[in-house]
Structure 1
Amino acid sequence: MKSQFLRLLLAAALSAGAFVGAAGAADAPSPAEKSEPAAAEKSQPAAPEAAPAGDAAAAPAAGGAPMKPIDRVNSTEKGTLKNPFSSTDKAITDEGHKIYMGLSCNGCHGGGGGGGMCPPLTNETWVYGGDDDTLFRLITLGSQEFKKKYSVERKGQETVVGPMPPFAEIMDDEIKLWKAIAWIRTVWSGRAEKKVWQ
């Protein structure tokens, strides 16, 4: 009985915090918030940039908490997702590679992204496109659902045709997915003019 009461209390506190955070999200930071962040806060990744009010590409959930990738896909207009992490930040890309390996992406794409039973990530042109929005949605939905939802077909460049499985149920945090995508950018070996991300 006591543990059930504590769960209800915690749920109510989280809901209230999310409501308060959402209501005050557009407010300017107070002077205390503008001061130097604590060391522990410095190590936290920056959340994706907030979009204008009413835009489908809203910032992560109130209070800066990230969404599940599937929730982000379902709540954001196609073509508007941008990675908040840079592929030139070694700490981020090292963490992204660990996430990539931890999710067994290497089983299909190779440990260094050179391919296997699925296309290499080092290729200049990817079969569905290489922009941030496409990769995020493709990884989340898997190739079958991605093609169905957005009425797209793969480019006929690859002879390796293994389907991309959906990671919606495996990946619980969009920040992790963005970090994995940041690492993927580091192995791409195309020409500069073919780069389709920042």
Structure 2
Amino acid sequence: MKSQFIRLLLAAALSVGAFVGAAGAADAPAPAEKSEPAAADKKADPAAAPEAAPSGEAAAAPAAGGAPMKPIDRVNSTEKGTLKNPYSSTDKAITDEGHKIYMGLSCNGCHGGGGGGGMCPPLTNETWVYGGDDDTLFRLITLGTQEYKKKYNATRTGTESVVGPMPPFGELIDDETKLWKAIAWIRTVWGGRAEKKVWQ
């Protein structure tokens, strides 16, 4: 009688354990089926090339996994001349955010709050000391004047009366999208002639 009672208790305990295990498994997500290759496999697979940017187009998309890179990482991993701003200077929400980023990084201390210049060249006229295309501005702001000149053997393509050097911001900005938005705002204050515009 006593052994029969112990067997019943043991059976009940096992049943409860099985029930709790099944209930817990119901809460856990089911393992993903392997119907498609993992994202990393897609990147390595040449057949997945349509996801990559076509040759000569912007390499400004966020890094794999959707996470944006630091500007310095983008510069170091992208061929010179291929960076394009993914944000439009006609999108007011983007440019308003870009102006806040510009002010928050104290760009106004050198270039003025409205981009009119100060210790450093104005952003409002058509003279770009090293070039005004997206790729050049992104790299110049990221690396600073000295490193930009050294890395790309760059020389001035334009002259200004104010020649203060650009400090490197690459390690200060944690997310490349912030820099692109600030550049989008900079485009809104530019007042040069249409034929001098070197970006879209």
Q: Give the TM-score normalised by structure 1.
A: 0.74
Structure 1 position 188 matched with structure 2 position 190: yes
How big is the shift at 1:161? 1.1
Structure 1 pair 67–159 and aligned structure 2 pair: CA distance change class (3 A): same
Which of 141, 150, 172 aligns to 1:148? It is 150
Structure 1 position 21 matched with structure 2 position 23: no
More deviation in 55-64 or 127-136?
55-64
How big is the shift at 1:50? 4.1
Structure 1 pair 120–175 and aligned structure 2 pair: CA distance change class (3 A): same
The one-letter amino acid of 2:111's match is H
The one-letter amino acid of 2:173's match is M
How big is the shift at 1:24? 3.7
Q: Corresponding residue for 2:123?
A: 121
SS in 2 for 1:104: coil
User: Would you say how many aligned residue pairs link Structure 1 and Structure 2?
Assistant: 159
Structure 2: runs of 5+ lacking an equivalent: 1-36
The one-letter amino acid of 1:76's match is T
Alpha-carbon RMSD: 2.4
How big is the shift at 1:157? 2.0
More deviation in 146-155 or 87-96?
146-155
How big is the shift at 1:61? 1.5
How big is the shift at 1:58? 7.4
Q: Using the alignment, how far apart are the partners of 1:180 and 1:58 within structure 2?
A: 14
Q: Using the alignment, how far apart are the partners of 1:174 and 1:101 within structure 2?
A: 16
Q: Using the alignment, how far apart are the partners of 1:122 and 1:176 within structure 2?
A: 20
More deviation in 110-119 or 63-72?
63-72
How big is the shift at 1:52? 4.3
Q: Percent identity over the alignment?
A: 85
Q: Give the TM-score normalised by structure 2.
A: 0.73
Aligned pairs for 1:1-198 within 5 A: 20-24=38-42, 26=48, 50-52=52-54, 57=59, 59-198=61-200
Asked whether the 8 Å contact 1:56–1:77 carries over to 2, the reply is: no
Q: Corresponding residue for 1:37?
A: none
